[in-house]
Structures are given as structure tokens and as C-alpha cells.
Structure 1
Amino acid sequence: MPEVPLDFDAVIVAGGRGSRLGGVVKADLQVGGERLLDRVLAAARHARQRVVVGLVDVPEGVRQVVEDPPGSGPAAGLVAGLDALDDPSAWTLVLACDLPGAEQAVPRLLEAAMAGGDADGHCLGSGDGTPQWLLGIHRSDALRRAAADYGDPRQRSVRGLLAPLRLAVIADAEGDGKDVDTWGDYEAWDKRWRMRMETEHEGWGRFVRQACEAVGVDPALVDISAVLDMTREVAHAGARPMAPVSAYLLGLAMGMDADADPERLRRVIEDVATAAPVPKKEKS
């Protein structure tokens, strides 16, 4: 997603647990090899401020708050997120944490906001046109007025909070706004992402083959998916700057012993890197 000339903040509501998923923390589910919350945060990376509401791990540079009391519902989470924003931007992007297609959906919301018009906000719609209440962007002043007028938000709905706003609904023909409520949803999204990754890897495969030819390395020794998985795990452990270093170490180790088991080396490097103490300035 390119840089966008829009002043906006982002609130990601991540306080709930998936009751139809056996109570797992949705934010921590891995879809296509990447944590759901990280996918959503990536979709909001151009926000001036990003706030995650919930008891989950967040990366450096992202503010974290918890609704009071914890578990008091998405409306309470949204209000807590709004309260945590300093000097609010003109627009506020509101997202759930369980949106695997957020990176495809959010640019459409930003485009709608930049297009002008008199709507207070824009939401992606579900198949029947119903707004996805936690997948939208709103004028911050209108959203804050609605939140103030709503009263006590605990155990109440985001739909009710947003009811006074004039919302424009954007059709979602590709299903990018579908969330993860059931294991069936999870499996469908995981498959969708892995198919996409395979397609992307075909393109990267050409790069790997050309690079290997240039430096005299057998391309068969390069397992793109495995290396990406290893560096992703290192980054998720809070040691983001060490992710490329871990890949370099793997290459050195393989170069020193051509008969070494690459899978064992990846596990060793991943385990050591994720267990190592992270410098305070690098901690999430």
C-alpha cells in the first residue's frame, strides 16, 4: 500500500476471545504463517498513531491499552482506544484484530475517505450489505461525539455506538472483510493466504535462481518458505533487527558444513534467537 495523503489514526480492537474457537486469543492465530494482529497492524502502518486494545503482545511503536474492565466488550474497547489517542487525527480507522484480508480492505477505506463527500464514515459491507462495524474509517470528531453520547459502553455493541453516524457502505465483492469467527473461517483464510504465498514465491523463485547463479550456489539448497518462517518467528519474539542476521547465520552454518541438516540448523538458530534477552530499546 503506497503512502497516502490522509491524516488518520488507527484503533485495533483485540480484547475478545473466540468463543466459537474454543476461547483462543484471535489476535495470536497464525494465518498463512503470520499472526493475525500483525497482519492488521501492517494494514494500518500509515496511521499517525496506532493503538491496540487488549491483553496481547504488540510491537515497538504501537500503543497498548485495555478496556476497563478487561473483557467488557468491543464498544468499551473502541472507547478506550479513542481515549488513548493524543491530538487525534482528522480520521480514525477502526479495525478488529481478526481480519486476515485487512491489507486488501484498508486501502479501499482510505480511498473512500480521500474521495470527499459528506459521509461521517465508510465501512466495508458484508455479503448482504450490512456494515462491518469493526472495519471502517470515520471522521474523528463525529466518532468521538457518538462515543460521548453513547454513555457507558460496557457490554454494549459497536453497532449501537456508530448508529448516529451517516455511513457509506463499500461493497466487498472479494470477501476481503470476512473475519475469523469459526475454525471453518480460519481454514478458509489460511488456505487462501498460503495459495497467495505460493504464487508470490514463484516470482521470488526467479530471483533466488538468478542470485544463486550469480554467486555459484545450488538453488535447491534455498527453502524460501522455511527461511521466511524462521525470520518471522525471530521478529515476532521482539528481535526484529536480528531477523536478517538469523538468515545470514543460517547461510554461514550451511557453508561451513554442506552435509548439515538445514531443518535442524533453522530450529537451533530460531530457538536461540527467540530465547535470547532483547535489549530494552528493542522490546515491544
Structure 2
Amino acid sequence: MRPHRRHTGRVADRMPSGASISPRPDSPADRTAVVLAGGTGRRLGGVDKATLSLGGTTVLGSLLDGLDADMPVVVAGDEQPTSRPVTFCRENPPGGGPAAGLGAALPFVQTPLTGVVAVDMPWAAPVLRSALDLLEHHVEVDAVVPVDTSGHHQYLCTAWRTESLRRIVNELGDLHGRAMREIVSSANIVELALPDGDARLHDIDTPEDLRRAREDIART
């Protein structure tokens, strides 16, 4: 996984990922997933990571397959065929980074909760779901951010109150070139503690990452 800086904002609490949290049956109708897919994949030869083949589908397809079927999805990236309805959008100008992609996607979100995830985390859907479930039980916070056992915050897989996210994005202004940690650092958060060795947020950033991901799928 790529390294992340420590969070410097306000941490309200930390919850283990195995904590007993009961999602409401109608939860997906309250949530939209925003997939950040506008990166250039420089370490993969400049290819669009979303379109790479993985397990009989694409990297984007693998992530979409893990999300709840009735959950609205907005993809900040170039259009491609998908197996489910998806709204595509792009930041202007393209290549502005994940925060700019999020800013472009937010106008299409019409639900009170928003899950934000990078496309190169194809197995992140269960963690995103847990973060959204936890957020529903912490009405006093803006967001839930997973944190691994080394203390690194996973800024590219987060759950948000949409109203709070819009406010922070508007306060920051121009998002071109900004990092997601700048958005998170302005939020009051709850941390979702990931178990030791949790691979669900492993990303595909290099040819070696892609090779291992394909080998893991072939073994299952």
C-alpha cells in the first residue's frame, strides 16, 4: 500500500472493524458510492487502472461488483462499459487528482451519506460498507476513516455525511492538485480500526501489485 501521513484533524473515537454494528435494511438507499478513477497509472505505464483486466472483469468492475446492488454510484473518471448503472463525470481540467475528482462527483450525489473509494482498491467494498454503517451510529461526526495497525489512515476509502463533505469542499475552494488528506484533516472523524494483516484495502499501483492480485484471484 502507498504510505499515508497521520491524520491531524479531530478524532472523536476509534472503533474496531469487528465491532457489532447492525446496518439498517434500507441503508443503500441512503448512500452513494463515489469512485475516484481519474488517475494516470504512471507506474503501470500510464494506462487507465480502471480498465485493467482482473478476474474476468476489470479493476473497476471488481469494485462495483462488491457494492450493494441498489447503491447509486458516481465514477470520477473516463467512461467505460459497466455491468450496472453508473454516472460518469470528470474534473475540469482532467488530471487534477482525487480531491478534484471528488469535487466533480459531489453535484451528482443526492443521498445523505457518501462513501468515497479509489478505483485501485478493488476489494474495498466491505470496508466501505462497514465505515458507512459506523457513520450511521455516530451522528456527531463528519466522517469515518479506516486506520491500519501501523496508524496509517486510509484517506481513499472513507465514509461521509454528504452535507459535511460539501461544506469542507466548498471551504477549500480550488481542489486541483489537492490530496484527500486535506479534506479529511478538516473533518471531525471516527476511526475504523482494521485488523492486522487486512488486505482488503491493498491497492493496485504497480505491475507487481497487479500480478499478485491476478494470482490471488486465480487461487480462489
The reply to whether TM is greater than 0.5 is: yes
The count of aligned residue pairs is: 193
Larger helix percent: 1
Q: Which residue in 2 is equivalent to 1:68?
A: 92
Query: What is the aligned-residue RMSD (CA, Å)?
Result: 2.0
Q: Which residue in 1 is equivalent to 2:114?
A: 92
Residue 195 in 1 paired to residue 216 in 2?
no
* Displacement of 1:119: 2.4
Instruction: For 1:81-230, list aligned pairs within 5 A.
Output: 81-85=105-109, 88-173=110-195, 174-196=198-220
String of CA shifts for 1:170-194, please: whole Å, max 9, x gaps. Answer: 2233221111111222222222222
Query: Gaps spanning 5+ residues in structure 1: where?
Result: 197-284
Residue 15 in 1 paired to residue 12 in 2?
no
Tell me the distance in 2 between the aligned counterparts of 1:179 and 1:127.
17
SS of the aligned residue for 2:154 comes to strand
* Displacement of 1:61: 2.1
Query: Computing the radius of gyration over CA atoms, which structure comes out larger, 1 or 2?
Result: 1
- Counterparts in 2 of 1:186 and 1:172: CA distance versus 1, 3 Å: farther
* Displacement of 1:11: 0.9
Instruction: Indicate if the aligned counterparts of 1:147 and 1:161 stay in contact, CA closer than 8 A.
Output: yes
Instruction: Indicate if the aligned counterparts of 1:28 and 1:35 stay in contact, CA closer than 8 A.
Output: yes
- State the TM-score, normalized to the length of structure 1: 0.63
Tell me the distance in 2 between the aligned counterparts of 1:38 and 1:10.
14
Q: Which residue in 2 is equivalent to 1:5?
A: 26
- State the TM-score, normalized to the length of structure 2: 0.79
* Displacement of 1:127: 4.7
Instruction: Indicate if the aligned counterparts of 1:100 and 1:189 stay in contact, CA closer than 8 A.
Output: no
- Counterparts in 2 of 1:3 and 1:117: CA distance versus 1, 3 Å: closer
Tell me the distance in 2 between the aligned counterparts of 1:101 and 1:48.
16
Equivalent position to 2:52, from 29, 37, 54: 29
Q: Which residue in 2 is equivalent to 1:56?
A: 79
The AA in structure 2 aligned to 1:181 is D
- Counterparts in 2 of 1:33 and 1:46: CA distance versus 1, 3 Å: closer
The AA in structure 1 aligned to 2:134 is A
SS of the aligned residue for 2:100 comes to helix
- Counterparts in 2 of 1:72 and 1:91: CA distance versus 1, 3 Å: same
* Displacement of 1:22: 1.2
State the identity %.
31
- Counterparts in 2 of 1:138 and 1:194: CA distance versus 1, 3 Å: same
* Displacement of 1:35: 0.7
Larger strand percent: 2
- Where relative contact order (Cα < 8 A, 6+ residues apart) is larger, the structure is 2
